[in-house]
Amino acid sequence: SQTIHQWPATLVQPVGSPLSLECTVEGTSNPNLYWYRQAAGRGLQLLFYSVGIGQISSEVPQNLSASRPQDRQFILSSKKLLLSDSGFYLCAFRGPTSTDTQYFGPGTRLTVL
């Protein structure tokens, strides 16, 4: 079966510190991968998506970046966190077929102080 993992589950970081969130998928090959952010009480904002290794598309210019070093691994990074980076970060995957459904990971709750 297909599963998606995210870690850490929660993170408290000071302003200006680096960030690395990891997402891995099991049970599928060549998935489409997504990073979303959800501010408190708000909707979902698509940050990045990837259709293959090394292929990253950015939706919102900001101090975040994403990388896909392996087929089923998606990493969200920042060199220097801002207060506005606080939020709930969700990774999602969809199978390679165009009609596949998108499934979400458990999320990482990031607080920047």
Partner 1 sequence: AQKVTQAQTEISVVEKEDVTLDCVYETRDTTYYLFWYKQPPSGELVFLIRRNSFDEQNEISGRYSWNFQKSTSSFNFTITASQVVDSAVYFCALMTTSGTYKYIFGTGTRLKVLA
Residues of this chain that interact with partner 1 (CB under 8 A) are 32, 42-44, 46, 49, 51, 57, 88, 90, 92, 94, 98-99, 101-107, 109
Q: How far is the CB of 38 from partner 1 (least distance, A)?
A: 8
**With respect to partner 1, which residue has the nearer C-beta, 18 or 96?**
96
**With respect to partner 1, which residue has the nearer C-beta, 105 or 112?**
105
DSSP letter string, 56-83: EEESS-SSEEEEEEETTEEEEEESS--G
- Helix, strand, coil: what percent of the chain each, to 5? 5, 60, 40
